[in-house]
């Protein structure tokens, strides 16, 4: 069978492969991430997929037959976090606003701190600016929010700023003027001046204009987005070229597509590459949406447990939420992202004792791909949750990544005793389980808070558990939350890559606006004209990009939408519009769509249409359908697993005592089989723990349904 889609997710710990054939059947693979040479980890993961699934095929033959290569990963975010991006960068901004990048916003000092730290102002600190003050130059100009030019650009100052930055040796120049989203003419003038000066100086430095990267209101978010585009995203083009070159040498002809933060895929040449920075978590939520459409679930919570973080995203009323303001490594940005929130809690999280209080602290930092002290070659000297799982028997030290990585249980116990259990004066098993319970509690409280914060309860949702560590910890972090159902896909380890493979090719553009729909409809004619003009301008820009990528603009499907809120509110919702251009009488349909969406997401009593509606963004997306995977659909057999699924029993520690647990090989379990705890289901890519008092049934789509066992 010929494989058509290869989806890759390069996480901080593991690189996951999701390979789909022409009939929608898929196989998965997993290998350790190779941060400096990501193509190596990709090839190792693909090799693992073919090997684990016993597919007799050469990598070259598989790559040659591909129609699509979809990438999600952490190249950009890691570069930003580790401060290894392009530098130095110069900045030209409106005079008087030179310190905007340094002052930031108050929330940048605490937004990504643990809740315990947010309570203490002494712990707060601002991220160090990516651009130092000496690399920032201001030029006089002023455009009003209406787009009217009040003060012309002082061209001489712009020229002096460019010459100054050239002498400083900058490798790129960002231009972010105060209201360029309303009228970009001054930014365009600065670019023209810069190109003339560079020609005179005999240098060539790339210039990035904020109105092209992110033409929305909010100068700090627009500025940070532009700077992070230069610092973190632009160097990735070289990385993607390396991946493309190495895979092309092996026979791949398919184009590389990168998953965006808002749920489509784009080319590596896409101008706004910064919109792909959080592609990994996005893939998981797309996978949840895909499952929800198949099973008919409208309310789903996706939970991703990796080696470094615990990510949570919600699908409510059949739709995932898009947020237009977020932070990346504490830098406020304002481009659209599927709403996924994270805490630093994963299987690689470090376990430490406070030297004064002897209190156990887990994370937020992690051993990442180095696993823990149980993997000698990793060079880690601080114990992790992985080490606790090895000590408790939940992880098989001889079957981690199918045996490719050997873990040393004795070393884990010795170092756990030295660092945790001996100072606490408890047995090593008790200490290890206590740490496991603590991280499960952190995840459970965070998960519950995320759901309750929307005005719903866990009882309204089905939960999907994925990530390499998800199946290990699912029972622990869902206990007592009473979800409608808990789903653990057998391909949980590559679920984000699976979600990426469901994404269509597409581009999105946002345009800030402030259009008021009055209760009496007196502004409807003007608003209609403004909306049609905005969508028309965005379509022209989109058509240019599509042509540059060799795609016929007539072959894509255009989807207009708006972000709206009741007048006086702070939070807006994204409202789909059937088509454009619209007529005046379509305004009432748009209002009704917003009312219906608001009622499903928030309390009905908080609706306030009598105040009117504010349109905050005009949005246009386009999409081009791509091949999709299909879930397996296998008739269910009997409850009892076949003999070949059984492996030798192993003792696991749970609930303060040792249990003789049944061990199963995941691939040999058949739909209809029920696994009762205490049991462990093993696969090369992940481990699924079914504790005492729980059971899991494998359905026809090869997804486990985990629940507490009424038999006790």
The rounded distance, in Å, linking the Cα atoms of 697 and 480 is 19
Residues 180, 216: contact at Cβ < 8 Å? no
pLDDT tens digits, 554-579: 999 999 999 999 998 888 888 999 88
Please return the burial class of 278, using the count of CB atoms within 10 Å of its CB with bins 0-12, 13-18 and 19+: buried
List the one residue out of 347, 306, 318 whose CA is nearest residue 465: 306
The DSSP code sequence of 340-359 is EEEES--TTEEEEE-TTT--
Q: How far apart are the first and last CA of the chain?
A: 45
The rounded distance, in Å, linking the Cα atoms of 248 and 710 is 54
Structure tokens at 272: 């706004």
* pLDDT (0 to 100) of residue 69: 92
* Res. 278: pLDDT tops 70: yes
Structure tokens at 674: 């029920």
DSSP symbol at 484: S
pLDDT tens digits, 650-701: 999 999 999 999 999 998 999 999 999 899 999 988 899 999 999 999 999 9
User: Which residue, chain included where needed, has tokens 């090895």?
Assistant: 390
The three-class DSSP label of residue 44 is helix
* pLDDT (0 to 100) of residue 1: 62
Number of Cβ atoms within 10 Å of the Cβ of 568: 9
pLDDT tens digits, 346-383: 898 899 998 888 889 888 788 877 889 999 988 899 99
Domains of the chain: 3-80+235-276 (3.30.420.40), 88-170+172-205 (no CATH), 349-438 (no CATH), 505-624 (3.30.1490)
Q: What b/e string do you get for 346-373 counting C-beta neighbours within 10 Å, with b at 16 or more? A: bbbbbbbeeeeeeebbbbbebbbbbbbb
The DSSP code sequence of 119-173 is T-GGG--PPPPSS-GGGEEEE--EE-TTS-EEE---HHHHHHHHHHHHHTT-SEE
* Res. 238: pLDDT tops 50: yes
pLDDT tens digits, 578-599: 889 999 989 999 999 999 888 8
* pLDDT (0 to 100) of residue 3: 86
Q: Is 570 left (phi over 0), alpha (psi -120 to 50) or beta?
A: alpha
- Going by DSSP bridges, is the β-strand pair 694-698/674-676 parallel, antiparallel, or unpaired? antiparallel
The rounded distance, in Å, linking the Cα atoms of 410 and 26 is 37
* pLDDT (0 to 100) of residue 603: 65
* Res. 712: pLDDT tops 70: no
pLDDT tens digits, 480-529: 999 999 999 999 988 988 999 899 898 899 988 889 999 988 899 999 99
* pLDDT (0 to 100) of residue 659: 96
* Res. 290: pLDDT tops 90: yes
3-state secondary structure 427-440: CHHHHHHHHHHHHH
pLDDT tens digits, 606-665: 778 888 999 999 999 999 888 788 888 899 999 999 999 999 899 999 999 999 999 999
* Res. 12: pLDDT tops 80: no
Strand partners, 702: none
Q: Which residue has the higher pLDDT, 238 or 304?
A: 304
pLDDT tens digits, 26-41: 888 888 888 778 889 8
Mean per-residue pLDDT for 223-248? 91
3-state secondary structure 246-262: HHHHCCCCCCEEEECCC
* Res. 416: pLDDT tops 80: yes
Candidate from 74-83, 169-178, 542-551 with smallest mean pLDDT: 74-83
- Residues contacting 168, CB < 8 A, separation 6+: 88, 90, 134, 135
The rounded distance, in Å, linking the Cα atoms of 537 and 464 is 40
The rounded distance, in Å, linking the Cα atoms of 566 and 606 is 10
The three-class DSSP label of residue 467 is coil
Structure tokens at 45: 């993961």
* pLDDT (0 to 100) of residue 115: 64
Q: Provide the CB-side half-sphere exposure for 35 (13 A, CA).
A: 13
The DSSP code sequence of 543-594 is HHHHHHTT--GGGSEEEEEEEEEETT-S--EEEE-S-SS--GGGHHHHHHHH
Residues 12, 492: contact at Cβ < 8 Å? no
Q: Calculate the CA dihedral of residues 693, 694, 697, 698 and round it to 10 degrees.
A: -130
List the one residue out of 181, 133, 686 whose CA is nearest residue 396: 686
Compute the mean pLDDT over every residue in the chain, rounded to the nearest whole number.
Answer: 90
* Res. 711: pLDDT tops 80: no
Number of Cβ atoms within 10 Å of the Cβ of 238: 9
Report cis status (omega within 30 of 0) of the bond before 678: yes
The DSSP code sequence of 232-299 is IIHHHHHHHHHHHHHHHHTT--SPEEEE-TTS-EE-TT-TTGGGGTTHHHHHHHHHHHHHHHHHT-S-
* Res. 602: pLDDT tops 50: yes
Q: What percent of the chain has pLDDT over 90?
A: 56
Q: Which helix (H) or strand (E) holds 338?
A: strand 337-338
* pLDDT (0 to 100) of residue 10: 84
pLDDT tens digits, 84-96: 899 999 999 999 9
Cα 642 versus chain centre, distance: 38
Number of Cβ atoms within 10 Å of the Cβ of 548: 12
Predicted TM-score (pTM) of this structure: 0.86
Q: What percent of the chain has pLDDT over 70?
A: 98
The rounded distance, in Å, linking the Cα atoms of 257 and 240 is 10
* Res. 530: pLDDT tops 50: yes
């Amino acid at each position: 069978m010929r494989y058509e889609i290869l989806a890759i997710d390069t996480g901080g710990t593991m690189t996951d492969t999701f390979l789909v054939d022409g009939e929608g059947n898929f196989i998965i693979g997993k290998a350790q991430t190779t941060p400096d040479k990501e193509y190596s980890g990709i090839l190792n993961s693909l090799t693992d997929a073919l090997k684990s699934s016993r597919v007799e095929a050469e990598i070259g033959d598989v790559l040659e037959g591909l129609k699509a290569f979809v990438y999600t990963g952490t190249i950009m975010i890691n570069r930003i976090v580790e401060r290894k991006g392009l530098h130095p960068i110069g900045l030209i901004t409106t005079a008087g606003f030179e310190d905007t990048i340094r002052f930031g916003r108050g929330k940048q000092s605490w937004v990504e701190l643990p809740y315990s730290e947010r309570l203490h102002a002494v712990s707060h600190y601002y991220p160090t600016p990516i651009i130092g003050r000496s690399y920032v130059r201001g030029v006089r100009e002023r455009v009003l929010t209406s787009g009217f030019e009040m003060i012309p650009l002082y061209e001489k100052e712009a020229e002096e700023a460019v010459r100054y930055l050239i002498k400083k040796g900058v490798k790129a120049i960002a231009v972010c003027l105060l209201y360029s989203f309303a009228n970009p003419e001054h930014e365009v003038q600065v670019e023209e001046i810069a190109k003339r000066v560079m020609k005179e100086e005999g240098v060539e430095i790339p210039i990035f204009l904020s109105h092209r990267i992110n033409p929305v209101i909010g100068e700090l978010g627009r500025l940070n987005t532009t700077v992070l585009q230069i610092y973190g995203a632009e160097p990735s083009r070289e990385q993607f070229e390396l991946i493309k070159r190495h895979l092309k040498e092996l026979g791949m002809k398919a184009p590389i597509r990168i998953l965006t933060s808002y749920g489509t895929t784009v080319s590596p040449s896409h101008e706004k590459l910064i919109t792909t920075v959080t592609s990994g978590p996005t893939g998981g939520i797309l996978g949840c949406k895909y499952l929800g459409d198949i099973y008919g679930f409208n309310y789903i919570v996706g939970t991703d447990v990796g080696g470094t973080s615990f990510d949570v995203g919600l699908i409510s009323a059949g739709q995932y939420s898009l947020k237009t303001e977020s932070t990346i490594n504490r830098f406020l940005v304002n481009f659209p992202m599927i709403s996924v929130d994270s805490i630093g809690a994963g299987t690689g999280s470090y376990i430490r004792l406070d030297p004064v209080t002897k209190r156990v602290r887990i994370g937020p930092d992690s051993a990442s791909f180095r696993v823990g002290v149980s993997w000698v070659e990793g060079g880690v000297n601080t114990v992790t949750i992985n080490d606790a799982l090895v000590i408790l028997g939940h992880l098989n030290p001889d079957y981690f990544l199918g045996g490719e990585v050997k873990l040393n249980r004795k070393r884990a116990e010795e170092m756990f005793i030295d660092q945790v259990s001996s100072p606490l004066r408890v047995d090593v098993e008790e200490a290890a389980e206590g740490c496991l319970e603590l991280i499960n509690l952190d995840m459970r409280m965070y998960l519950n808070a995320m759901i309750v914060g929307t005005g719903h309860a866990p009882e309204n949702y089905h939960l999907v558990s994925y990530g390499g560590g998800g199946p290990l910890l699912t029972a622990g972090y869902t206990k007592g939350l009473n979800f409608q159902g808990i789903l653990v896909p057998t391909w949980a380890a590559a679920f984000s890559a699976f979600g990426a493979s469901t994404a269509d090719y597409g581009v999105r553009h946002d345009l800030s606006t402030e259009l008021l729909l009055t209760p009496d409809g007196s502004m409807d004619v003007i608003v209609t004209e403004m909306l049609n003009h905005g969508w028309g301008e965005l379509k022209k820009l989109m058509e240019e990009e599509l042509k540059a990528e060799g795609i016929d603009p007539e072959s894509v499907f255009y989807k207009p939408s708006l972000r709206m809120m009741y007048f006086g509110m702070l939070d807006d919702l994204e409202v789909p519009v059937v088509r454009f251009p619209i007529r005046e009488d379509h305004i009432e349909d748009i209002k009704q769509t917003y009312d219906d969406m608001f009622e499903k997401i928030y309390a009905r009593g908080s609706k306030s249409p009598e105040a009117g509606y504010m349109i905050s963004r005009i949005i246009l997306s386009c999409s081009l359908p791509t091949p999709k995977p299909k879930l397996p659909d296998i008739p269910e057999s009997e409850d009892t697993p076949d003999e070949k699924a059984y492996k030798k029993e192993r003792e696991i520690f749970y609930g303060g005592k040792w249990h003789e647990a049944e061990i199963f090989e995941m691939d040999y379990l058949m739909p209809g089989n029920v696994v009762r705890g205490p049991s462990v289901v093993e696969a090369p890519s992940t481990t699924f723990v079914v504790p005492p008092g729980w059971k899991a049934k494998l359905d026809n789509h090869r997804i486990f349904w985990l629940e507490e066992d009424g038999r006790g």
